[in-house]
Amino acid sequence: MPTALTYSLHKIKDSVNFGFSPQDYSRFKFGDDAVSKSFGINLADGFIQEYLKLNPINKQIVVISSPYSFIPTATFAMKNYFVFHLNRWLAEHGFPVVQEAKVHRTVTYKEDYGELDAEQRINLISNDSFQIDKEFLVGKTLIFLDDIRITGSHERMILKMVDEYQLQNDIHMLYFAELVNNAIHPNIENHLNYFDVKSVFDLEDIIESGNFSINTRIVKYILNTNAESFLIFLNNQTDQFINLLYNMALGNSYHTIEAYANNLNLIKKQLNVNNYKLA
């Protein structure tokens, strides 16, 4: 299996002091683009200062965000600002600016990944398959970007794809944070994910902040809410957000997941009512 160089900005050694704000991390995971900007810039700056200045990459760099189907992950928003900041440094130093590629994934699942232990994670994700444009990557240095490394199961799936495609590229795995203490249970990820989000109503501040970027986590969380809370939440949202939520859910085939069917029907009814009012 191919090897890769790993860089993480924050090393999680205990379950209290993370080196970053758990509140910010939670908001980032649910679409706070202002935090995505901060995280992306900080990660790029750390990678530049701690690696690139000492080991300049002369080849064309391709940055690849964590795999997704239709709805981007939270990492995608962080990736944008990572690329912007990295490009400024590359341009100033005469290197080619970044290109981007996408890892396509084929399976979507309802389970909350952050709750699972290492074995459960690999069992869940091993049903997935990743695809990438091999020809586009020839002769380039690849940077696979993700927000956090807990057990390395996602990384193993990426490297499995690299092996299957027989990619010969130099590879870097970059993370905003990495769990480096094996004594801490992997569900520490869920502690971080939900640190600032205890109910669907906690999302309203993020959605209305003016710095909102939709992602898979917030869509799944909303669709998994009990019907009573969901209807109250839905009635507080703008038509623009309701349409966005519905379009994203369909794009990720969430209408084929039984657990989401009821709330998606409620969205559909709400949209029909709103369209009737407009007519």
pLDDT digits (tens, 9 = 90+) for 155-213: 999 999 999 999 999 999 999 999 999 999 999 999 999 999 999 999 999 999 999 99
**pLDDT at position 145, please?**
98
Q: Once rounded to an integer, what is the mean pLDDT over residues 245-262?
A: 96
Question: Smallest Cα–Cα separation from 232: which of 278, 199, 279?
Answer: 199
| pLDDT tens, residue by residue, 56-98 | 999 999 999 999 999 999 999 999 999 999 999 999 999 999 9
Q: State residue 153's pLDDT score.
A: 87
- C-alpha 33/C-alpha 235 separation (Å) is 24
For the entire predicted model, the pTM comes to 0.91
What DSSP letter does each residue of 145-181 carry, written as one string? EEEEESSSHHHHHHHHHHHHTT----EEEEEEEEE--
Q: Which two tokens stand for residue 276?
A: 């009737």
State how far the alpha carbon of 5 is from the alpha carbons of 8, 58, 169, in Å. 10, 16, 12
**Residue carrying structure tokens 């379950």:** 15
Q: Are 221 and 203 in contact (CB under 8 A)?
A: yes
Task: Please give the sequence-ordered ranges of beta strands (E in DSSP) within 116-257, or none if there are none.
Answer: 130-131, 141-149, 171-179
Stated length of the chain: 279
Which residue ranges form the domains of the chain, and what is each CATH number? 5-193 (3.40.50), 200-271 (no CATH)
CA gyration radius, the chain: 20
For residues 43 and 82, give the distance between their C-alpha atoms in angstroms, rounded to a whole number.
7
